[in-house]
Amino acid sequence: MFTLQKKIAVVTGGGSGIGRAIAETFAQQGAEVFILELNKASATEVVRKIESTGHKAYAFEVNVSDQKQVDNTIARIAQQAGRIDILVNSAGISHIGRLDTTSEEDFEKVFQVNVKGAYNAMHACIHLMKKQGGGVILNIASVAATVGIADRFAYSMSKGAVVSMTYSVAKDYVKDNIRCNCISPARVHTSFVDGFLAKNYPGQEKEMFEKLSKTQPIGRMGKPEEVASLALFLCCDQASFVTGTDYPLDGGFLKLNT
């Protein structure tokens, strides 16, 4: 079950964190994976790891906020592979700040990557998926799209847009056999978290890590591989009845916090 044999998958932001875990998991389950990543070196490292296990993967240096770059890359992939069965929008950036401390420049940067980046990738793939008779789109959102999280104004805005786009695409293309869902993780332990703690809480990393971990009722942060496991299910044929849904993966954050 949950195989992706003979599937062609595109993963944006597949060079690190959640995107990397998804790319590696999809490859392990038989998909041919195409990674779109701003950091070509990190994407190439993931490709090498996937290839070392006998699977196929390819890296493309792409700024997802640049529509022309995304269009050209998706066209190259379609020409090479013949089709695109799965698109995962995992590329994204974070931002810390309230409304009054978020500059126009920072707001625009978050929007360009998190919102326009997802739009660009979906826009580039949707015509191909319609033509080939179907496909699957999975967006990575956040619990910040649903609840108020302190000092995350621009980030919450962007992830709320991702959820709304997911619902819209699911409704508009259900008759084209295109499914669209999203996953909303709570805090997931990635290199971004470690870098954030080292920069903002030098000498207090362990203490702050524990504090952030306990904001999830389950008592810890999520793992990228756990997000990848849910992504695998949502993108495989066994989930063919699932569309237009936002899946919290949050250790009880949304429902159990009071």
Euclidean distance between CA atoms 205 and 172, whole angstroms = 45
- On whether the CB atoms of residues 30 and 7 are closer than 8 A, the answer is yes
Euclidean distance between CA atoms 204 and 220, whole angstroms = 18
Euclidean distance between CA atoms 72 and 131, whole angstroms = 18
Those residues with Cβ within 8 angstroms of residue 224's Cβ, 6 or more apart along the chain or in another chain? 17, 18, 20, 21, 22, 188, 189, 190
- On whether the CB atoms of residues 169 and 138 are closer than 8 A, the answer is no
- On whether the CB atoms of residues 57 and 33 are closer than 8 A, the answer is yes
Give bridge partners of residue 84 from the DSSP assignment. Answer: none
Q: How many helices (H) and strands (E) does the chain have?
A: 10, 7
**Residues annotated as catalytic (active site), given as ranges:** 155
Euclidean distance between CA atoms 132 and 88, whole angstroms = 18
